Structure 1
């Protein structure tokens, strides 16, 4: 949508008909900059700049009894590296838990959470001798209130025992300048150029180790984004190169990362290799010094898709350097109404001091069928082998039905079971947990989406989730 008609109509309605008044308004004297720059959407023009405005508001509400958890798969990453070598977020990549209900006596066991997220993006663009010159401001606000066993977060943002919250006032998530066309220079507060794509498994349940690692292989201890200086250029023939200094706003011994990326996109093939060296700014060797390499390739050949991805990295530690590796392969074949997908993954490495870590591996597969127009069935599962002696393996088996009731309404239902084999050290009995879930999604258009879903488990846990969102551009 353009604001030209609205602005000009307002001017006419106000009776501003003289050339003198039009000249005084400045911002209204030229309304063709966006067209000249080839920019569309919700725009405002001045005589030199085109301002694009976009945004989104999303809301999520959850209610049930689900605050405890039980572990199904615990990969090599979790707990194998000393504090300070990787972040707490990275230290949980690959861990898969299922919900477990609380059973307190005489008090409420109910849990709920309410979250509102606001995104507002402004992109101001003007022409320059080097190509389009841009300023990008991406504002974000997040209000997240959660109650565990009916204990809620205080209004001031404090979290009493059993409660938590996440309260971020409207702030600049991104704020950077950029110039160029085939070669682009960016500087400011911005996301990373580190490419960690082309690594998601094709089977519908995914794989355990990839489940939390951005749905792929672990990108490693990469200190990325934040305050950055980045340069990217198109070499032609589908190749793009990127280099940047990132994490320049960190003040510890892990401050400053050198990032390099080479990408390719051709007929039926996408590929990349990304590398990172972290902890450069302090100029000395410390536990913040890390390295990481992530590579992935996807090929589409008629009815077949093949994907392979791998990552390796590590870091310095006083007791001896540590490292990891993680690999994944996946394939998909389409035969008329049927779709078959198979995936496998493995990971290992060395702990601080050089001791070899046990190698974990897993695999999964699924069979999908379009049984009628708008109706799809998926059946599949995944398995995880924990390389640690005495720790049982985990698995999931599931069946899914997706039905497009109308052009705007879709129903998704799933039944399945999670399981974990017996542990001998520490001793723990084998268990399984059956579940069922259903979701009604509505997308009437205009950028609005909404859904209502519910999940119930054999162990007594349950959760009802409502979502609504609207975007504009």
Structure 2
């Protein structure tokens, strides 16, 4: 009887102890592990209260380029690019304390030299303060869609520009990023205030913006004031606004950037996505009178083949213009191999180089963050570019 009572008593104590541990958030926290409790996944190392996440990528490209239409010469090259990112997070009652360090290769050194691209600390929850070597808090890109050739570095040899319009297109651009101090505060449902001092290692920039992201609407508007140290003759000022709204199958978007000289650049566009096909169109115009309009449509020919056609036209003050029309297909060869084929025509007026180009490419992606690709682009001028790429993310 005494033994039975002892066993029952021990079981009761064990049950109470187990129940107390299950109800104890600290005990649950320890049993989960710090990184699991923070919701951080990937390659991680943890201590009692800090989770260190390590990620990055390595890529290699070998390129053979032959120019014939502008005089026969070769431009061959190979390069390695890599990035290594360390993110240390410690949760406190007042919010998350983070330290971030990102190392990159120096362009042109084939991966041999190292630069510190990002090195900053941040703290907070609904209000986050960040300081150090950082990217810009302000997103001034007003058009992200790409039309025409996907091989911009090759086709752009003829100045057919697919780069993203932002404040860098302005006459009097304000410098951002670099080293600085940033504050982002969620002030109401969906509304945030962005305040920052950036580019503090050079002329210095002060910025203020309001952002909204809720109910299918995403928008940001701000002002950037450069040269807060008064190093320049004239202090540049930039303004920007970008917004997009989702309505079931449709998305509409627009953007605007301007500077204190009176120069401005604006975009407007829309997407429509349905079960079998999708459409997108964008227009861009500026204060000088330059403008462009671009469109692309695609549809699912089969479960594994998507067909697309598109066109783009730019009209420049002074009578110059460029035009492209193109079409192609993307298809899954196997579960791990995809392919792409495209043909297009580009015309430059007046008296520019007009040519037809073709592109063929294949990508092997077996998983694990690894990809390898082979692409060939050629024109009727006798120019061609063969590119081999391989990369691994972790």
3-state SS in 1 of match to 2:36:
helix
Q: CA deviation at 1:462?
A: 0.6
- Structure 2: distance between partners of 1:204 and 1:334: 20
> Equivalent residue for 2:121?
177
One of 183, 186, 193 as aligned partner of 1:241: 193
Q: Is the 8 A contact 1:198 1:271 kept in 2?
A: no
> Equivalent residue for 1:286?
233
The normalised TM-score by structure 2 is: 0.83
1:437 and 1:115, CA in 2 relative to 1: closer, same or farther beyond 3 A?
same
> Equivalent residue for 1:413?
341
Q: Superposed, which structure 2 residues align to 1:303-314 within 5 Å? A: 303-314=249-260
1:419 and 1:125, CA in 2 relative to 1: closer, same or farther beyond 3 A?
same
One of 289, 292, 296 as aligned partner of 2:242: 296
Q: CA deviation at 1:369?
A: 1.5
- 1:136 lines up with 2:100 in the alignment: yes
- Structure 1: distance between partners of 2:140 and 2:33: 39
> Equivalent residue for 2:143?
199
Q: CA deviation at 1:323?
A: 3.4
What per-residue deviation string (whole Å, max 9, x for no partner) do you get for residues 133-174 of structure 1?
Answer: 111110111463xxxxxxxxxxxxxxxxxxxx6776122111
1:224 and 1:330, CA in 2 relative to 1: closer, same or farther beyond 3 A?
same
Larger Rg over CA atoms:
2
- Structure 1: distance between partners of 2:264 and 2:317: 14
Q: Which range moved further: 359-368 or 335-344?
A: 335-344
3-state SS in 2 of match to 1:36:
helix
Q: Is the 8 A contact 1:142 1:169 kept in 2?
A: yes
Q: Superposed, which structure 2 residues align to 1:392-471 within 5 Å? A: 392-422=320-350, 429-471=351-393
- Structure 2: distance between partners of 1:290 and 1:366: 37
Q: Which runs of 4+ in 1 moved over 4 A?
A: 165-168, 201-206, 208-213, 215-219
3-state SS in 2 of match to 1:35:
helix
Q: Superposed, which structure 2 residues align to 1:351-430 within 5 Å? A: 358-388=288-318, 391-422=319-350, 429-430=351-352
The normalised TM-score by structure 1 is: 0.70
> Equivalent residue for 1:231?
183
- 1:324 lines up with 2:263 in the alignment: yes
> Equivalent residue for 1:268?
216
Q: CA deviation at 1:455?
A: 0.3
1:113 and 1:101, CA in 2 relative to 1: closer, same or farther beyond 3 A?
farther
- Structure (1 or 2) with the greater helix fraction: 2
What is the Cα-based RMSD across aligned positions, in Å? 2.7
Consecutive unaligned residues of structure 1, counting only runs of 5 or more, are 1-28, 69-99, 104-108, 145-164, 315-321, 349-357, 423-428
Q: Is the 8 A contact 2:81 2:111 kept in 1?
A: no
Q: Superposed, which structure 2 residues align to 1:21-100 within 5 Å? A: 32-66=33-67
Q: CA deviation at 1:62?
A: 1.0
Q: Which range moved further: 165-174 or 178-187?
A: 165-174
Q: CA deviation at 1:195?
A: 1.1
Q: Is the 8 A contact 2:346 2:355 kept in 1?
A: yes
> Equivalent residue for 1:345?
284
Question: How many matched pairs?
Answer: 357
